[in-house]
């Protein structure tokens, strides 16, 4: 390729132009939670009746999941703020590889397909940029419920033997409180014969949301949100009308946008209890936070550094580690950030350094010395939350930054530039 062609291709790469230094003011509306909506969509496979989901965010991941479900015979249609899904006749228990590839959440189909049809064949989701992300715990749980599971040539095949093709309840103890494994086992166990217990279950709000919707569909689940979940299997589930919880990670990202620009904003709807660990760290930095039942106001003062270690819920979420590090690059003093969930989630460090941040990285621990001013640069987000971190750093930088990696950003943030521009930022998108 000629130099001119290379340059023009570079220029044409989709990116955001972000003018730094604009103060923010006003209110940002938070969308429905991506990680809830994705799993709730697959839960629609568990019934022949219509599942009406409200507050579904418009994101590329959600559109990808819609395509996968359609390919399996699910009738999907849009409603004003959501989706109607009906899995009346499932024509296919094997989601096509070309659709599944690239959307890890597609693996969620395995639990409901096994529960409903007694068989499923799903390509392994594989690793991703932030780490290996194994599914051993999902498979261990399905085997405990009586499924025969084999992994060959990158495809997981699972089936239930016997004429009834029904899984059997079991006592399952997870080695680690995996969100995905807890959700997979929950969805497989709701239609199983007898009682299932999941010990060391993930306690994330998205797991609670799934249990709540499944109960609305006729399931019998107790304990979700705590470390032990009990599921009493039922014969069948029915349709429901359900509203997805607000996205706590999107909410946290916009609170950090306010903090990094030293601006007062209000976000809603947001459930403050889902963000306790994040709100505490923002307060420790020097932000004044006021909470209502479904909203949060942040008013940053003079900000100083804090230490952060990512943990499963209710600890500090790994998905806000990169965005929070962007903030800590601008706060006074030293901060130490330790990533405990994923082995390769520090890709934003090099990009923040390019914007003038002072960060020393040792393995999965970053030591950050706050600088008075970041400077604009062309940067790129290598994964969803790194891309968000680049947007946040650009909001605070001196000058106009160019942020690439929109294929990642658009997986998790609906109308990001519209929302931020509505409170005063100056962001333009070049496709």
Site for ligand UD1, rule CB under 6 A: 35, 38, 105, 131-138, 176, 178-181, 202, 206, 318-319, 341-342
For residue 184, the minimal CB distance to ligand UD1 (Å) is 9
For residue 104, the minimal CB distance to ligand UD1 (Å) is 6
Q: How far is 23 from 273, CA to CA, in rounded Å?
A: 27
Closer to ligand UD1 by CB, 215 or 311: give it.
311
CA dihedral 18, 21, 23, 29 (to 10 degrees): 30
For residue 361, the minimal CB distance to ligand UD1 (Å) is 19
For residue 228, the minimal CB distance to ligand UD1 (Å) is 17
Q: How far is 390 from 405, CA to CA, in rounded Å?
A: 9
Q: Write down the catalytic residue from 22, 109, 128, 287.
A: 128
Q: How far is 58 from 286, CA to CA, in rounded Å?
A: 34
b or e along 314-332 (b: 16 or more beta carbons within 10 Å of the residue's beta carbon)? eebbbbbbbbbbbbbbbbe
Q: Is 302 exposed, middle or buried (0-12, 13-18, 19+ CB in 10 A)?
A: exposed
Q: How far is 187 from 201, CA to CA, in rounded Å?
A: 14
For residue 246, the minimal CB distance to ligand UD1 (Å) is 15
For residue 208, the minimal CB distance to ligand UD1 (Å) is 13
Closer to ligand UD1 by CB, 106 or 331: give it.
106
- 128 has catalytic annotation: yes
Q: Is 144 exposed, middle or buried (0-12, 13-18, 19+ CB in 10 A)?
A: buried
Distance of CA 47 to the CA centre of its chain: 25
Residues 6+ apart with CB under 8 A from 363: none
For residue 318, the minimal CB distance to ligand UD1 (Å) is 5
Q: What is the CA radius of gyration of the chain?
A: 22
The Cα-based distances of 19 to 118, 125, 363, 421 in angstroms read: 54, 37, 33, 11
b or e along 253-271 (b: 16 or more beta carbons within 10 Å of the residue's beta carbon)? bbbbbbbbbbbbbbbbbbb
Closer to ligand UD1 by CB, 38 or 224: give it.
38
DSSP codes of every residue in 177-233: --HHHHHHHHHHHTTSBSEEEEET----HHHHHHHHHHHHTT-EEE-BTBSEEEEE-
8 Å CB contact between 330 and 303: yes
Q: How far is 335 from 322, CA to CA, in rounded Å?
A: 13
CB atoms within 10 A of CB 4: 8
Q: Which residues are catalytic?
A: 128
């Amino acid at each position: 390729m000629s130099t001119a062609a290379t340059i023009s291709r570079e220029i044409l790469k989709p990116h955001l132009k972000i003018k730094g230094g604009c103060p923010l003011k006003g209110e940002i509306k938070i969308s429905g939670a991506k990680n809830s909506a994705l799993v709730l969509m697959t839960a629609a496979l568990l019934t022949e009746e219509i599942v009406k989901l409200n507050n579904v965010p418009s994101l590329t991941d959600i559109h990808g999941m819609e395509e996968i479900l359609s390919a399996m015979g699910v009738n999907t249609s849009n409603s004003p703020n959501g989706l109607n899904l009906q899995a009346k006749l499932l024509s296919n228990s094997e989601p096509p590889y070309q659709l599944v590839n690239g959307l890890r959440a597609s693996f969620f189909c395995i639990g409901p397909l096994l529960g409903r049809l007694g068989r499923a064949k799903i390509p392994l989701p594989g690793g991703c940029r932030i780490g290996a992300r194994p599914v051993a715990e999902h498979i261990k749980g399905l085997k405990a419920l009586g499924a025969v599971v084999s992994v060959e040539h990158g495809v997981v095949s699972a089936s239930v033997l016997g004429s009834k093709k029904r899984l059997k309840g079991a006592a399952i103890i997870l080695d680690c409180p995996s969100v995905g494994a807890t959700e997979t086992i929950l969805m497989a166990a709701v239609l199983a014969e007898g009682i299932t217990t999941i010990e060391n279950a993930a306690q994330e709000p998205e797991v609670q949301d799934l249990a709540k919707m499944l109960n609305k569909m006729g399931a019998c689940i107790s304990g979700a949100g705590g470390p032990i979940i009990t599921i009493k299997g039922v014969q069948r589930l029915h349709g429901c009308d359900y509203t997805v919880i607000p996205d706590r990670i999107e909410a946290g990202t916009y609170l950090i946008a306010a903090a990094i620009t030293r601006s007062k904003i209000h976000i809603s709807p947001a459930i403050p209890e889902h963000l306790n660990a994040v709100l505490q760290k923002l307060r420790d930095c020097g932000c004044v936070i006021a909470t209502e039942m479904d909203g949060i106001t942040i008013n940053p003062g003079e900000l100083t550094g804090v230490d952060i270690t990512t943990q499963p819920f209710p600890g500090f979420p790994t998905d806000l580690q990169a965005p929070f590090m962007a903030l800590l690059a601008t706060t006074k003093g030293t901060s130490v950030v330790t990533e405990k969930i994923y082995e390769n989630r520090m890709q934003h460090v090099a990009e923040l350094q390019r914007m003038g941040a002072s960060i020393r990285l040792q393995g999965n621990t970053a030591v950050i010395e706050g600088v008075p001013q970041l400077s604009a640069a062309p940067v790129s987000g290598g994964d969803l939350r790194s891309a968000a971190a680049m947007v946040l750093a650009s909001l605070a930088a001196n000058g106009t930054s160019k942020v690439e990696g929109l294929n990642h950003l658009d997986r998790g943030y609906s109308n990001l530039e519209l929302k931020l521009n509505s409170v005063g930022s100056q962001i333009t998108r070049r496709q």
